[in-house]
Structure 1
Amino acid sequence: MPEKKPGPSVKDDELYEKLRDEGNSKEKSARIANAAADTSRSEVGRRGGEHPAYEDWTKDQLDERAAELEISGRSSMSKDELIDALRSH
């Protein structure tokens, strides 16, 4: 069976496939793989995020972020469910 390629927009196929195997979404895997290709893999890991942990966000803030990411069913989710949905997106 031929090896599947993620597509021409993904700059680091190997990292993309590793992230997908770990259970990350296609979108998240592509973003990380492309960021790593622009600098270096270790640089991406060190940079980290600039936002506080989702647990420190209000439910309204979590709902707003979920809306930006077009997560369906967010209006009926609890704070913990929103956090899980955002982390798995």
Structure 2
Amino acid sequence: MVKDHGSQIKDDKTYERLRDQGASKGKAARIANAQAKSKASHGGTSETAAKGGRHGRYEDWNKDDLYQQAKKVGIAGRSKMSKDALIDALRNH
């Protein structure tokens, strides 16, 4: 059963799913509220849901952000990789 998180959270089910996946309270709230707002204004699936809550294209990230993501997922040898190599490694890990 989905818990009511108060009037601050517009989509409790999405909020709980994101929290279970490890998202911070703030991030989960932002995504859940954006999804609820989009559903209300479009009457259907939100853009956030269509993207699966995923980030933008790696090509649009800077090298430092790519490095941090590679570190987060445990890619070995990341400190010596170029931006293109980091993108490849992230896509194929």
- TM-score, normalised by the number of residues in structure 1: 0.50
**C-alpha deviation, 1:19, in angstroms:** 1.1
**C-alpha deviation, 1:7, in angstroms:** 4.0
Residues 1:30 and 2:29 are matched in the alignment: yes
Distance across 2 between alignment mates of 1:27 and 1:42: 22
Change (3 A) 1:22 1:54: farther
The equivalent position to 1:53 in structure 2, one of 38, 58, 66, is: 58
SS in 2 for 1:39: helix
Name the structure 2 match of 1:39: 38
Distance across 1 between alignment mates of 2:11 and 2:63: 35
How many residues align? The count is: 64
Q: Which runs of 5+ in 2 are unaligned?
A: 74-93
SS in 2 for 1:8: coil
Query: Whose RCO is larger (CA < 8 A, sep 6+)?
Result: 1
Q: Percent same amino acid among aligned pairs?
A: 35
Change (3 A) 1:49 1:13: closer
- Alpha-carbon RMSD: 3.5
**C-alpha deviation, 1:36, in angstroms:** 0.9
- TM-score, normalised by the number of residues in structure 2: 0.48
Contact 2:3 2:12 in 1 (8 A): no
Paired residue type of 1:6: H
